[in-house]
Amino acid sequence: KVLVGNLVGEGHRNYVLMYNMLTGIRVAVSRCQAKIRRPLVEDDYLASHKYSFDMLGNELTPSAKYDFKFKDYAPWVFRELRDDHFHLDPADYLLSLTAKYILSELGSPGKSGSFFYYSRDYRFIIKTIPHHEHAFLRSILKDYHEHVRTNPHTLLSRFYGLHRVKMPRGRKIHFVIMNNLFPPHKDIHETYDLKGSAWGRETSAEKLAANPKTVLKDKNWVNRGRTLELGPEKRALFTEQLRRDMEFLRRINVMDYSLLVGIHNVERGNRDNLRENTLAFFQPEAPVKRKPSSVKHHAEANTMRRAVARADPKRLLDASQLPSDGSEDRRHFLFYQDDGGLRATDEQNRPMDIIYYLGVIDICTPYNTKKCIEHAWKSMTENPVTISCVEPNTYGQRFLNFLMSVERNGDMSLRPQGLEPPQ
Ligand code: ATP
Ligand code: CA
Ligand code: CA
């Protein structure tokens, strides 16, 4: 269950939250998308739009099942990111997220307490984030946009939207929508979350025994002799992109990010079918009853209608149906082109039987005083080079060294450096 999550249906403790998130997205995104495109202006990066939903509905918002407030941040910027840089079909995006009002909850896999939800077709991830990460993302949005514009093959998380919901008497919940690095149609046989640091970076044998799909870490990577097997061509491209992305993260003063690596073994194939089995639990839901849309809601209705007309009817009618591969957008990206991922190659650049699904995640933690204190404290007890809390320069350098340092041995395989050798 660690990697696939639980279905959030009616009666689930987070059902209302999920319903409100999706309703807000549906209304806000289609509202922006329906307007005529215009060039971005400086104010767009800091803009936010407020919506107030209730059971009756009003001029601006259709009626909803619950009362809540919704905020859409920098809608024009995210629209441009989605349309121009991430090659998402606007109708598809809305349809994936909101056609069925079903998400799958992964719970809170990290230490941060953030919650993760998958869209029902597994393409998108909604991550709740603390206020400071939300504020940070807004503050760097312009730089991020620029980086994505000039680095179409960036390995950084693709942010599709930034929003907030507030329920009556509830606290404000911020969340981002991003790409799921792992494809719906392929089993991932091993997952690693790599930071290039040894400190506390090992998933225990007990945890693994309890759940073989648990995410592995740096020490496991080294102990199992894993390397990114990329021939000279792909290695050069990948290293260069990673270097540029690290340089960007250093400039915006970020650390604590990781390279998430999913390994699909082609020979082993999809035998486990873990995800498929779980997705089979997805049940079609009765359509949400709404008041007939007023003139103001026409644009939204039209966007949805186009979405519905475009979509594969099987996908619409049968929610348990897996999308054929759900990764049309991926063909635009160098590192997501081989079946949605990056196929390993040997020293002659010939394809091998491994596909990597990888990207740099968790990029909204700036190096700040809290981290400094943590660093100072840990330095007293641990070797400061191996602890995970270091300033962004050191962090980035160590990260690159760990992943890309090449030490050629007899069989020409590549060994990571930067960690003590396994015992
Ligand atoms: P912490 O701050 O404690 O590291 P977090 O709550 O910020 O945790 P992340 O590090 O962003 O969470 O992600 C936790 C896990 O969720 C990852 O190790 C990975 O298994 C999964 N995950 C996160 N982002 C993605 C993504 N884009 N695609 C697929 N899986 C993801
Ligand atoms: Ca993390
Ligand atoms: Ca985090």
User: What is the pLDDT at residue 43?
Assistant: 97
Whether 298 is in a domain gets the answer yes
Look at ligand 1, atom 24, and give the residue with the nearest C-alpha: 361
| 180 Cβ closer than 6 Å to some ligand 1 atom | yes
Q: Rounded to the nearest 5°, which phi and psi values hold at 353? A: -85, 35
In this structure, are 353 and 212 located in the same domain? yes
pLDDT at 318 over 50: no
Element counts in the chain: helices (H) and strands (E):
12, 12
pLDDT at 323 over 90: no
The interaxial angle of helices 90-98 and 298-310, nearest 10 deg, is 90
If you measure from the C-alpha of residue 86 to the centroid of ligand 3, how many angstroms do you get, rounded to a whole number?
Answer: 23
**Beta strands at 159-166 and 172-179: parallel, antiparallel or unpaired:** antiparallel
Whether 79 is in a domain gets the answer yes
| Average pLDDT of every residue of the chain | 82
Structural domains of the chain, count: 2
ipTM over 0.90: yes
What is the signed CA dihedral for 400, 402, 408, 411, rounded to 10 degrees?
A: -120
Whether 228 is in a domain gets the answer yes
In this structure, are 90 and 17 located in the same domain? yes
In this structure, are 121 and 231 located in the same domain? no
Ranges 51-65, 219-233, 303-317: which has the least confidence: 303-317
In this structure, are 306 and 339 located in the same domain? no
> Is there a contact between 46 and 145 (Cβ–Cβ < 8 Å)?
no
| 360 Cβ closer than 6 Å to some ligand 1 atom | no
In this structure, are 263 and 385 located in the same domain? yes
What is the chain's Cα-based Rg? 22
The mean pLDDT of 72-76, rounded to a whole number, is: 98
Whether 131 is in a domain gets the answer yes
Look at ligand 1, atom 27, and give the residue with the nearest C-alpha: 180
If you measure from the C-alpha of residue 132 to the centroid of ligand 1, how many angstroms do you get, rounded to a whole number?
Answer: 17
Spell out the alpha helix ranges (H) of 14-103.
15-34, 75-80, 90-98
Kindly list the distances between the CA atom of residue 208 and the CA atoms of 186, 273, 277, in Å, as whole numbers in the listed order.
21, 19, 21
Only one residue has tokens 């998430």, namely: 260
Of all helices (H) and strands (E), which one includes residue 353?
A: strand 351-361
Whether 336 is in a domain gets the answer yes
User: What is the pLDDT at residue 414?
Assistant: 35
Confidence of residue 283 (pLDDT cuts 50, 70, 90): very low
If you measure from the C-alpha of residue 330 to the centroid of ligand 2, how many angstroms do you get, rounded to a whole number?
Answer: 23
In this structure, are 1 and 109 located in the same domain? yes
Whether 158 is in a domain gets the answer yes
Confidence of residue 326 (pLDDT cuts 50, 70, 90): low
pLDDT at 421 over 50: no
List the structure tokens of 333: 């990206």
Look at ligand 1, atom 2, and give the residue with the nearest C-alpha: 112
The mean pLDDT of 348-375, rounded to a whole number, is: 86
| 246 Cβ closer than 6 Å to some ligand 1 atom | no
Q: What is the residue range of 292's domain?
A: 1-180+285-318
Q: Rounded to the nearest 5°, which phi and psi values hold at 5? A: 85, 175
Q: Point out the ligand nearest to the CA of residue 361.
A: 1
In this structure, are 137 and 198 located in the same domain? no
> Is there a contact between 61 and 20 (Cβ–Cβ < 8 Å)?
no
Whether 230 is in a domain gets the answer yes
In this structure, are 176 and 293 located in the same domain? yes
In this structure, are 261 and 289 located in the same domain? no
| 389 Cβ closer than 6 Å to some ligand 1 atom | no
| 386 Cβ closer than 6 Å to some ligand 1 atom | no
| 350 Cβ closer than 6 Å to some ligand 1 atom | no
> Is there a contact between 310 and 92 (Cβ–Cβ < 8 Å)?
yes
pLDDT in tens, 385-408: 555 567 888 899 999 999 987 543
> Is there a contact between 186 and 264 (Cβ–Cβ < 8 Å)?
yes
| 214 Cβ closer than 6 Å to some ligand 1 atom | no
Whether 224 is in a domain gets the answer yes
pLDDT at 297 over 90: no
For residue 181, the ligand 1 atom closest to its alpha carbon is 28
C-alpha closest to that of 46 among 130, 133, 126, 142: 142
User: What is the pLDDT at residue 99?
Assistant: 82
Look at ligand 1, atom 1, and give the residue with the nearest C-alpha: 110
- Burial classification of residue 152, based on how many CB atoms lie within 10 Å of its CB (0-12 exposed, 13-18 middle, 19 or more buried): middle
The mean pLDDT of 151-169, rounded to a whole number, is: 97
In this structure, are 259 and 347 located in the same domain? yes
| 114 Cβ closer than 6 Å to some ligand 1 atom | yes
